[in-house]
Amino acid sequence: MNRLIRQSLRIIAAMLLVLNTGCWSSQEIEDLSIVVGLGLDVANESKFERDIAKQGGAYPKRNVLTATVQIVPPISGRGQRQGQGQGQSQGGSSGGKAYLNEKLTGDSIFQIYRQFSVRRDRPLVGHHLKVIVVASDLAKQYSLEQIFDFILRDNDIRPSCLVVVSHRDAIEALSSSEPGEIPAFYLTGLVNNRYRSNKILPPVTLIKLDSTMQSGTSFLLQNVVTYNGEHKFSGAAIFKGSSKKWIGELTQFDVEGLSWIRGDIHGGVLKAYAPGGYTVTYEMRDSSSKIIPKVKDGEISFHIKMKSEGRLIEDWSFPEIPSTEGYLKEMEKVFEKQASKQIDQVLHKMQHVYHVDVGGFDKELQIKHPKLWKKIKDQWDDTFSRIPITYEIDIKITDAGSSTD
């Protein structure tokens, strides 16, 4: 008898192991809609929503924004039908789209998120959200703090998600005309090209956005321009630190100037015209900068020291001028002048057009003169506009490439 009990206990214990595999609230990946991109636009109800509303399918809401979620992979057949049904510009009519864009309008991002559950059988999961695109029009009206509140609170969305601003509609930035391409991945991939171009801003992830917003300084976000399902990173959107609203844009040229000031160039191109009128191009290998804040009798001024090394990579002189040492020295001056132009322009924009400091001057002042910083930090953007800034730039051509003549 005793043995029997022990035996059966053993069997029960063994059977309990089956229940112990740790799959309590598991969800099959096939049954989920994985969101990889999120676009936020000014409210623009789709035909679907208007039609549904006519049938009485609306819920009480103000139309504040339209959220577009990008889902991969689209369920075959169904994505096609819905894409056409909504009549949106979701790229060409070629069948090979690797993603599905769905948009809904409302005034609470979370409610919109959940509203997809009455619209799609597969629930949305946000763990793999890669990029959030905010339309500049929306960011003009609402503070980023409001727009991103849910996103920063949510426990699924990772703080490593990239944030960019689209010049036109965000849904356009999340659409692609190229078959097989997933725009969300495409946009994140572009950021990795920083080692090729200094026109790309250092990536701003959610966590960086959050800490910058908390610190109250003005900041930049990467700007995306779109045309007909194609995109390009171009310039930067400026956000005012006090309101966290979109106030303007920097051009590519400005961003290049800014990259000199910040000294975080990982690679890039500087094109200039030599005195003879022909094109010369410099490839940056290495660059560094130092912003030196100076305080004299309560007057603040900045001096920026910038250094760069690289090579002369293209020279259109005809007949060809051999790249002698003297010639390279001459070219260095030409490039320095061109870089100065970029720097002057971006400084002018920061100080006199937008009255914001997005060059990291505040951080340097804070580090070197913390006491002074405490006094002036609340009206820093205004103070900054009146501060004299001087700079020196030193470009060194270390080689002239494989062919020297």
Partner 1 sequence: MSSSNTGPKENISTSQAAVMVINYMLGAGILTLPRTTAEAVRTPDAWISIIVSGLIVLAAGWILVSLCKRFQGKTWFQFVPEITGKWIAFLLSLLVIGYFMIIAASEIRILAEVTGLFLLEGTPIWAIVLPFMWIGLYLTLGGINCIARLYEIILPITLVFLVLALLLSSKIFDADNLKPVLGSGIMPVLRGIKPTLLSFTGYEIMLVATAFMKFPKKATRAVITGISVPVVIYTFTVVMVIGGMSINGVEKRTWPTLDLMRSFEVQGLLFERFESLLLVIWIMQIFSTFTVTLYAASLGWSQILNRKFRTFVFALLPVMFLIAMIPKDVTEAFKLGDTVGYASVFLFGVIPLILLLVSLVRKKGAKPN
Residues at the site binding partner 1, with contacts judged by CB under 8 A: 20, 24-25, 155, 158-160, 205-208, 210-212, 214-215, 363, 366-368, 370-371, 373-374
Q: Which residues contact 337 (CB under 8 A, 6 or more apart)?
A: 272
Instruction: Work out the number of other CB atoms within 10 angstroms of the CB of residue 186.
Output: 18
Residues 211, 204 contacting (CB under 8 angstroms): no
Q: How far is the CB of 293 from partner 1 (least distance, A)?
A: 12
**Considering beta carbons, is residue 215 or 324 the nearer one to partner 1?**
215
- For tokens 């991002």, the residue is 109
- What length is written for the chain? 405
User: Smallest distance from the beta carbon of 264 to partner 1, in angstroms?
Assistant: 11
Q: Lay out the sheet containing 299-315: strands in order across.
A: 268-273, 279-296, 299-315, 389-399
Residues 6+ apart with CB under 8 A from 260: 287, 289, 306, 308, 339, 342, 343, 393
Smallest gap, in angstroms, from Cβ of residue 331 to partner 1? Answer: 34
Q: What is the DSSP string of 17-62?
A: HHHTSS-TT---GGGSEEEEEEEEEE----HHHHHHHHTT---S--
- Least distance from partner 1 to the Cβ atom of residue 302, Å: 16
For residues 195 and 273, which CB has a smaller minimum distance to partner 1 in the complex? 195
Residue 2 or 20 having the CB closest to partner 1 = 20
Nearer to partner 1, 296 or 371 (CB): 371
* Residue with the two structure tokens 């008898």: 1
CB of 27 to partner 1, least distance (A): 8
How far, rounded to the nearest angstrom, does the alpha carbon of residue 184 sit from its chain's CA centroid? 11
Task: Judge whether 184 and 70 are in contact, CB under 8 Å.
Answer: yes
What span, in angstroms and rounded, lies between the C-alpha atoms of 129 and 351? Answer: 36
Q: What is the closest distance, in whole angstroms, from the C-beta atom of residue 211 to partner 1 in the complex? A: 3
> Token pair for residue 368?
């070197």
Choice between 106 and 241, CB closer to partner 1: 241
Ramachandran assignment for 315, one of left (phi > 0), alpha (psi -120 to 50 degrees), beta (any other): beta
The nearer residue to partner 1, 3 or 153, going by C-beta atoms, is 153
Shortest distance in whole angstroms from residue 373 CB to partner 1: 8
If the CB atoms of residues 47 and 127 are measured against partner 1, the closer one turns out to be 127
**Which residue lies nearer to partner 1 by CB, 87 or 159?**
159
* Minimum CB distance to partner 1, residue 124 (Å): 14
